[in-house]
Every structure is written in structure tokens, then in C-alpha cells.
Structure 1
């Protein structure tokens, strides 16, 4: 039975346990394509390896794979999972310090049991790789797109589904650190480099008559507890080159918040950290997203936040606001040019199934000696760009 027919069988109405088992079976039939893994390996060997050293930090980065249990040859589908399998297979033998997925691992539009199966399989694939990994939460990863499209009266994911399927496995690794068992901020250190991960889908799970108060797909934000944890981490960051990652862009090129809640506050904290300031950060909100905190960055030495890197927008863009580079990476999911939601950026790539343009990924290298951050793209991505750190 081919994949397309198998997927059709999976999507027929069946008991949840059977659907989950068949989804897992489908995923395990997927194998990396040799031409893809060879291509990614060649990009690393020819472009990345000659430009990095042992004292640098190198990450393999995917974002927005939007995996779905459909066999689409022109848009979101099983190809999203295959891109993860292939990238992980290629980097297993490469000199990579950290394997990163910046969120929207799934499209979140499948039945909940299928979406859980997709998340479970993807995490297992990262676990089977020898490299440490970090998977950030995206706005599609709570399956709210399914709720939105099906007009269901109750949330399809339970409060802890995503955390139990994904987040807890991030923190089972000794190299991925956080302040406490519930903190949504994490970090990874190597030498003079500190990488911090933020959760831009830090949205409270509140039910009103079974339905969610906040649609995580549509609402992006960072709450006070996460900002408090970030302040603590930054206050203890001494003489480090800091690069921050998250799923969604924090601010626009004009400096306005690009999150529904508090993206501009994070930018203010970064600027205050770079200026070694003491002070207070607050907004005019109360309730779920109110913030009123104090900070003291006067004893952080030469530490500086230089770059914030994210996905979410399904295109590439770079802009500098108050000395901090904001870098948006293209989606790893296939986006054919004839689909209505395909961005103009991806239409120009004319992405096609079974061609190199089908995928998009990056190697990100942070060099504390040369004070630069290098991004090497492959597939539907810019081949090279660099920034100061």
C-alpha cells in the first residue's frame, strides 16, 4: 500500500487508539531520501565546515514543518515529518552542537489523536539522534487550528498534552537548562556563548464551558512569570555572547510589539541588559498578561544580547532595532506557489515536491572569537548571511 492510500485509511472514522497506532505505523514507514541527506551533508561540508572552528557553536535549525497526516505533493503534509527525519539523519554524523526546531512542528489541523501521534513520532526522531536537541512551542502546536476549523465545543488538546509529548523531553537532557521544573525559559551554554529559548506561545489554558478562552493559534504572548525567569537568567549571565531563539517574531521593524502581548517588553529588557541598566519593566495590563518587575543588569560584565532568531512568518527578513538583530527564518514546510496561503517569498522559490526546493533549513554558527553569527541556508533559504554578536 502506498503512503497516499495509507493516509486515506488513517483518516477514516475509527477509534482513537486505532488511529493513533496507524499514524505511528505510517510515520515509521517514512525513510530519508538519499538525495536530500547527501545534499544537506554537502552543504555542511562545503559551506559550513570551512568557516567554523572548535570554539564556535553550530546549530542545525528547522522551523514551521507543519506536519499533517496527508500525502500532499504541493503543500503541508507528511513531507513535514520527512524533512525532520532527513535533517536529523544528515546531521547525525556532522559536528553539530545542538539540533533545534523553532516550533509549528505540526499544522494542528488533524484530529487530536493524529496530532499527538505526529508530535510523539517527531520527538522520538530527535531523541534517536545523537545530538542534544531543543524543540520550541509554536502557535500551531496546541491543535487549535482543528478546533477552529471544526467548530468543536471543547478543546481537542488537554492542558498538559503538549508538555507531556514534547516539553518534558527537552528538559530530560542535561545540556538543556531551566530555573525550575515549570519555567518556560531555557538555555544552552558552550564556552563564551549562551543560547536562550523563549516560549512565544505562553498562553494560559483557560476553559469557558469547555472551549478555550484563548486560541493559541491566533494569540501569541509572553507572561510575567516567563519574563521574571528571563530577568533572573540574564542577571546571572556574565561575560557571555547571548543569542535568543523563539518561535514568533517579538517586534516589527518599527519597534512595535509583534506579539499580542509583551513582545515589546522583551525587546526593552534586551536593550536594558546591553546597557547594564537597573530599573523596572511594566505594562498597563492586569490579569493574564500584566507585568510589573524589577531588574538589575549592572553586574553582567561584557555580556550582550545581539540577535533574536525565529520563524513563524514563512519568509526571511532581517532588521535591526536598537542594536539588536531580529532574524526571521523561512518555513521548512513545503509551500507550493499555487496555494492561497503561500507567501510571496516562497512563491518566488517555486517550491516543488522531490526537488531541493521542497525543504528549507539552516546551519547557524556563533563565533565568539570573530564576533559574528553566520547563517548557512539550504533548500528554499538564503545561502549565506552574517551578523555581528
Structure 2
């Protein structure tokens, strides 16, 4: 009789070890597709040792690794006829989602393990482990408490073809999980089959009341092992490729009036100057001269550009005013009365003391950089457009290094192993240097590893972009960087760093212009909204003890790694409100802070996590309280989180110490924090403080990382063009052993590639002294 796979989507896969002995000929294929030509055959009496089972088409398949290392597939049962092609040593485990009974269940998923036994938040918590397209065949009625729209497909972007108002009811015949939502399937009055969403998965909410509760989610055990009882896979689950948003072609921002740098500022003229209709000096074109501005006139401007061998400001009335020749603009010197004003050319007291001319690095134009920041090790290299919507092709050396890394992880993996791909401080700026452009490839390589070798989670530790360009250009770079991460096809989280809100440009190049800051609301669709289905972030309306949990829409939250005993906590060390009119010390990311709501959330969350679970914490910035326990502590006390000199920073320092105290108290009571990972400092470092292992990681961009070792001077850059250019790692967690192993890809000290930075901590266990075991790749 047929095998009931009505609730099992194609390509549904489980981990299952066993031996299958064939009693009929079976063709081996490179993919689980019966229509493809077999490359070899198993004959009757022959056996195969398999590691996975999956359902695709009308067949159940075995998956195994050949002697060449390639993954092969062989069919073992026909679902339409029910015929098995032999005998199975692990026949009790099949890649089939069981059909539901009544579809009611209790919402815990522990009674029957059936599709449809989970409801509400319990189902949403494990929904990312259910493939899109999973269908629960059951009928019922649903009454909407908010308006809803029917579509011809389970796609939120599909055209609205039907509608419901509050209080109206739909009669459905199936439920489907797809596109971050649960959907009803129903027959429209015109006879067509349509779909209407009835719940958002994350943050979870129903759109009304279901007469037959039960959602299309496959229950997951939380024992640290898979459904088969074998060691859990630490290669994660393919999320399918998300929507890509970026454009690889960079907007031209060089000489000419094609692009005007938006910068609000003021200056005083040292000589008479004509306001012109166009930024050209042509003395014979009197029509171009609109108004004469006399010496000592105060000028307010809204933009700058370089053209016709002159630096120009754009006035509020749209006129162009020349303020310096190129040669005089190259040498900017500060006014005597303020370090934040500059004198040069035909002007004094310019509040925008950085000029567009300083954006023309020697790699992008003929002009030398005026502040002497050229890098000879990048000479001859150019900035090119990088398509981050397309998977990168590793070199043979890179691929070999990835294979070796994967083997090292497998060899050290405990049965409950969890893997996290991690990078931080990429400072993407695809306009300034080859390094800040090529770092996109670094991220693509990390995603290649995640996709082809597998990880449970991808984490970016913040400072995704450099934030030193006009807001529109920074947004374009954010999209490029986010798409590079999406190529991983794994759950991902991107932390908030101090550069990510573009306050560097707003503060230093536009005279503290708040309009150039990427606000919390603007940042959400660029970053947070694209991974909120994994990171459970408190909403801006949530409260704890009458205090708003997340009033600033900050990026902090919890992620329970599916089918494991590991909980990831993400903190936002720059949790403060946007300031529409900031001064130099009041930019949102000017210094560290944690809102009272985030502090309460952390304490509440720590209290809710089972003591049997292990915790790993990610934050962009370190915490006040670690002090000088760092292995390399020179200058650490000068950083924001420990700065005792700047009076305005003290509330943030106090909040940071409160976070530190909460984590230390948790560790003292339950001893279940595996580690705290941060970036920000651009160098590898580590400290054991309060019973917790704190580590910082180098910046992943080649021209920003600092190596501090006995053999190489501080500041030696990565070597562009080989593996050392990269700066990412795989964090291997063996929770039952309390063990953390870091496998570094690239980022080694230039010139001594066989020796890692001495401050890179590669291995530790809770309760044991840190140990470096050379886990780098």
C-alpha cells in the first residue's frame, strides 16, 4: 500500500545512520532525482552505509558520502506503491512527517510529535526547522480580528485577490508554513484555490481565532540529539536563499557635479567670491555669475564638491561658491580657536573641516590623499564592483583550508556540537580602499563555508559598515554586506556596532548633522527585520515591571539553537535613543549604553533559561568590570566602556557594569555561560573575569586589524590576495563538555602565516584554564 507522505515536503531530510541491503537493482545519483541518469548501480545483495534519509518526488532516498568525498543518493522506497528495495537496519526511522490525527494537541509537541500538535509561540520557536511548503491537511474555520488578503500563492508580495474584514470568517482545507507566515488554503467563490496568511511567525501573532487549532510546524526534541537518537548534526539547516537587495555597481562620487556631498556647515569668506549657477570658473561666462559675496561674509552651506580644480560649497539657494583651489584645499589646518574648524584657501572657520577632496584616495583617482593616509601595501590595487548576490568561487588554497577546517571541527565534535560562523568589524566601504571593498569577498567566503560545509548559525559582531559616507551611499553598502551574509543560507544575526548608524560621517564630516544618521527606524528594514525570524527581539511596546523593554528598537534578543542545549544571547551596547540635534557627545553610537529595559530583559531572560542549557553571549563592545584582566590590557581602560574621564559617558559605563554584574551572577550560580564574544577593539584579546571567558576578535577588514605579538609590530595589515586577507572563524561549542574551540580562517600575522596572533584564544573549557591549541586554519 502507498506510504503516506501527504504532510512531508520534498527535500525533507533527517539524520539517520544505518545499513541498507538491497534485494533489487538501485541506481546511484548525484542528486535525489529519479529522472536523472544513474552513475552506478547497487545490485541485489549489496549494502550501503548511509548517514541521512530524505523524501523527494515519489521516492524515499538514502544519502551517503562516497570514497571521493562526494555526496551520493540512492532510492530505497517508492511512496506510491509502498515497495521497499531491500531491508534496513534502522527501519523504524523514516523521513516522513506523520499525518495528524485530530489536529488539536496541547501545544507542547511532546505527546504525539505530529505535525499540527504545536500551536502559538511553542510552534513559532521551532518553526525555522520546518521547511517552507510543509502542509497540514485539515479543515476548519478561522475568524479574523484584523484585515487580511487572499493571494494566488503563499507569497507575501503576491497580488491581493481576495479580502476579509474584522469579524469575517474563512473556511479552509489546509494549513501551510511559508514566507515567514502560516497560511490557510481555501477555495474561492470563483472556484480557484487561494491562500491567506493567518499568523506571523516572528514576532509571533495570530490574526484571529481558529476553530481547529494546530499549526503546520514539525515538533523538535530539545534533548541535544536528532529524532533518530544519533549525534545532532552541527551543519545546520538550509534556509533557502533570501531575497537580495543590493546593487553591485557603485555610484560615481568623484570629480564633477554628478554627486554632491551632503554636508551642513558654515564658514567665513576671506575674499570676495561669486555665487555661480554651475560649479565652473569660466570668467568669460558672465551669465554664470549670479551674486557677489563680499569678504568677511558668513556663509551657510548644504553640500560640497570638487570640480574645475576648485573646492565648492553649495548654498541654500542652490548657488555654487568656490572656496579654494585644489592645491590650497589639500593642506587643511585648524583654526586657532577650535580643533573642529579649519582655515584654507579663501575661507576661515569652516566647521566641515573634512573635505570631499579627502575622499579621493589614490586608488580611485589621480589625486593623492591629503591627510597622508596612503598605504603602500595596497599600491597598484584598485576598487572594483563586487556582486554580493552571487556566490563567490574560492581559490584552491581557500577550498583546501575550508576542508581542513571542517575536518578539524568534525574530529573535535561532541555528540551535541553546535557551530557558529562569526566575523566582526568588517567596516564595509566600497569607495575608499581595496581593503574596505574586498572585505565583502571575505564575508562571501564565510557564507560559502556555511552553505557548503554547514553551520548552525552565522553571527556578525557589528560595525558591518564604516559609516563615514553620506547616508545614501552607506545604505547601499549595508545592502551589499547583508546580501553577502544571506549567501550563507543559514540563520543569521547582525549586531549593532558604533559605526553602523553613520554617525561618523554625521559627526566628523557634516558638522554634527543629525540628518545624516541612520536612525533606529531606518536601520530596522536594512538589518534587524531581515533576521528577526531567528533573533527573538523584544518589541518597542513590551514592558517589564512597567518599564519599556526596548524603547529604542535596539538589536538585542535571544536565539535558541534548534535541537540543541545552546542559547545565544545578543546584547546591544549602544542602546540609546536617536538625537535629532546631537552634539559631539550625544550621538547615539558615540559611547556605550544599555537602556534600563535591556538590563531588565537580560535579568528576566537569564532567569527563564533552564540551568541545563549553555549560554553564549555576543556584544559588539566589551563590558565595564573586566578592567585590566585582559591578556593585553594596554590602553583598554581608555575605551568607552571603562572611560572614567568623560563625565557624560558615566551613565553608560554604569549600565555596562550592571550588564557585567548580571552575567557574573548567572555564572556564579549556574556555571552555564560558555563565553562572551565582542569586537570593537580590532584586535584579538582575552580575559577570564568573574568566572566568564571574555574574548575580542580582530577586525575582518584588512586595513583595520591590529596584530599585537612578540614578533610583529602593532598595526601590521593582512596580506591582500591570499587567505590571510580574511578574518572570520567558526566557533565550535561542545556544551556537554563546557568546551569552546575557535577555528580561525585567515587573519594571521602578515609574514609569519604559520603563527597565529598570540592573543587569539583558540580553546577553553568552563572551569579550566584557557589553552591555545592551534585550531587556526
What band does the TM-score fall into relative to the shorter chain? 0.7 to 0.9
Counterpart secondary structure, 1:131: coil
Q: Quote the RMSD (CA, aligned, Å).
A: 2.9
1:63 aligns with 2:424: yes
1:9 aligned to which of 242, 246, 252: 252
Aligned residues: 342
- Bigger share in helix: 1
1:314 aligned to which of 682, 700, 703: 682
Shift of the alpha carbon at 1:87? 1.3
Q: Please list, as runs of the form range in 1=range in 2, the aligned pairs for 1:162-311 lying within 5 A after superposition.
A: 162-171=523-532, 173=533, 175-180=534-539, 183=550, 184-190=555-561, 191-208=564-581, 214-239=586-611, 240-251=613-624, 252-254=626-628, 257-258=641-642, 260=649, 261=652, 262-276=655-669, 302=670, 304-311=672-679
User: Which structure has the bigger radius of gyration?
Assistant: 2
Shift of the alpha carbon at 1:305? 2.4
Q: For 2:399 and 2:761, how far apart are their aligned partners in 1?
A: 19
Counterpart secondary structure, 2:474: helix
Identify the range of structure 1 (143-152 vs 342-351) with the bigger mean alpha-carbon deviation: 342-351
Counterpart secondary structure, 2:663: helix
CA deviations on 1:302-321 (whole Å, 9 max, x unpaired) are: 46224211111111111111
CA deviations on 1:281-320 (whole Å, 9 max, x unpaired) are: xxxxxxxxxxxxxxxxxxxxx4622421111111111111
- Bigger share in strand: 2
Q: Please list, as runs of the form range in 1=range in 2, the aligned pairs for 1:71-82 lying within 5 A after superposition.
A: 72-73=433-434, 75=435, 77-82=436-441
Query: Is the contact between residue 678 and residue 695 of structure 2 (CA under 8 Å) also seen in structure 1?
Result: yes
2:722 paired residue number: 355
1:150 aligns with 2:509: yes
- TM-score (normalised: structure 2): 0.41
1:133 paired residue number: 492
Unaligned runs of 5+ in 2: 1-248, 261-383, 542-549, 630-636, 644-648, 749-755, 767-777
Q: For 2:482 and 2:476, how far apart are their aligned partners in 1?
A: 10
Query: Is the contact between residue 559 and residue 568 of structure 2 (CA under 8 Å) also seen in structure 1?
Result: yes
Shift of the alpha carbon at 1:138? 0.7
Query: Is the contact between residue 202 and residue 223 of structure 1 (CA under 8 Å) also seen in structure 2?
Result: yes
Shift of the alpha carbon at 1:86? 1.9
Shift of the alpha carbon at 1:58? 0.4
Change (3 A) 1:324 1:153: closer
Q: For 1:150 and 1:71, how far apart are their aligned partners in 2?
A: 15
Shift of the alpha carbon at 1:213? 6.1
1:32 aligns with 2:392: yes
Counterpart secondary structure, 2:482: helix
- TM-score (normalised: structure 1): 0.79
CA deviations on 1:189-217 (whole Å, 9 max, x unpaired) are: 13221110001121221222x76762345
1:387 aligns with 2:764: yes
Q: For 1:235 and 1:94, how far apart are their aligned partners in 2?
A: 35
2:217 paired residue number: none
Q: For 1:344 and 1:335, how far apart are their aligned partners in 2?
A: 15
CA deviations on 1:266-294 (whole Å, 9 max, x unpaired) are: 11111222344xxxxxxxxxxxxxxxxxx
CA deviations on 1:104-159 (whole Å, 9 max, x unpaired) are: 11111122111101112222332343100000011100011112331335221242
Unaligned runs of 5+ in 1: 1-5, 17-24, 277-301
Query: Is the contact between residue 495 and residue 620 of structure 2 (CA under 8 Å) also seen in structure 1?
Result: yes
Query: Which of structures 1 and 2 has the larger relative contact order (alpha carbons within 8 angstroms, sep 6+)?
Result: 1
Shift of the alpha carbon at 1:31? 6.5
Q: For 1:305 and 1:200, how far apart are their aligned partners in 2?
A: 19
